[in-house]
Amino acid sequence: MKYIIKDNQAGFVLKNGVFQKMIRSGVYHFSNMAGYTVAVKEMSGEMNYTEIPYQVLSKDPAFLEASVHMEIPDGSVGFLYKNGKLASFASRKEYIFWNVFDRFELKVFSMEKTVMGAEITRQMLAILPKQFYTEVRVGEGETGLIYYDNVLQKPLDRGVYRFWNYNHAVTSLVIDMKQKELDIVGQEILTKDKIGIRMNVACMYKVRDAVEFVSRISDLKGQLYPAVQLAIREVVGNYKLDEILEAKEQISKEIFGALKEWEEMFCVNFLTAGIKDIILPGEIREIMNCVLVAEKTAQANVISRREEVASTRSLLNTAKLMEENATLYKLKELEYLEKICEKVGEISVNGSAGIVEQLGKMMGAGRQLI
């Protein structure tokens, strides 16, 4: 029987089902009567002729020259390259490629060391299945904690870290070490004089040691919130309402001091604490407004009386000076006359006397009236 093998093809010659050899392009004749058959396959990509085991095919020099056999050992991953370019992730342990028209290469990387090396590029990571590794991103102001089989390893600073999941079960925690604000809003407190008020308090804190923190605290905010509430009640409950309103800053310092005593228990450092708002009951607020109005009214009356006394004293001093100095008195008369004339639209003069003389008589009459 005649067989024509093209340039991109290979023929597998079998006699009575037993592999004999591989043939390349050309024209061949084999007798079917003698038990010969030829399986023709294209020499492109992966060799998918599975009827004959590789161990048998590998004994043929022509097949070895035209193909490449690649294996991935246990504890390793592989990446397939075609003509020098990354093609795919090697998802199987064994590959056979035709290596005639395209050049195939397998790059193998060990997962025995848990920390992934820099040789794994971004392009490789893009096609590497997530179940093979764990990625940990630690940002600015954060601390990363890595566990191998629940055993804590060295804390991690800022950066991106990747770990192979082969020898160990890798888990991670990222702890925020930046300062945070905790607001206690509408905290109800009974003052020393039995008046119920509400108070808004804010405090700033940050975790001081990540390792100690995760070993002792499970829910920081859930545990810290009631502790701050207790500190506020303990401090503010010792003051009367008037004292609270007058000594707001002092009470804030005492609250901060009380919180500092909780630092060891919660593995944090308190940075600041202070009262933001004091909310009084409606009836108390009305009473305080009335008191404030009364105080301001009294202050206004005092200022008014003080001004009246000062004005009277000034008039008395002026009168004494005018009594002791006739010329000053005369100048004062002329000053008043000038002011009167500014308001008068017309002056009529009667008789033969001049205007100055008549005005003088008017001023004299005025003195007699006084």
> Looking at the structure, do residues 221 and 253 belong to the same domain, yes or no?
yes
State both tokens at 339: 């002011």
296 lies in a domain? no
> Looking at the structure, do residues 172 and 267 belong to the same domain, yes or no?
no
Contacts of 3 (CB under 8 A, 6+ apart): 11, 27, 28, 29, 30, 38, 40
Tens of each residue's pLDDT in the chain, 370 residues: 888 999 999 999 999 989 999 999 999 988 888 899 999 999 999 888 888 899 999 999 999 999 999 999 999 999 999 999 999 999 899 999 999 999 999 999 999 999 999 999 999 999 999 999 999 999 999 999 999 999 999 899 999 999 999 999 999 999 999 999 999 888 888 888 888 888 899 999 999 999 999 988 888 888 889 989 998 888 988 888 888 888 889 999 999 999 999 899 899 999 999 888 888 876 666 666 666 666 767 776 777 777 777 777 777 777 777 666 667 666 666 666 666 676 665 656 565 554 555 555 655 554 444 4
Domain boundary among 261, 280, 299: 280
> Looking at the structure, do residues 8 and 59 belong to the same domain, yes or no?
yes
290 lies in a domain? no
Number of domains in the chain: 4
Residue 231, domain extent? 180-280
> Looking at the structure, do residues 225 and 272 belong to the same domain, yes or no?
yes
299 lies in a domain? no
pTM, 2 dp: 0.67
293 lies in a domain? no
Determine the residue type at 337.
Answer: L
251 lies in a domain? yes
Domain boundary among 246, 262, 280: 280
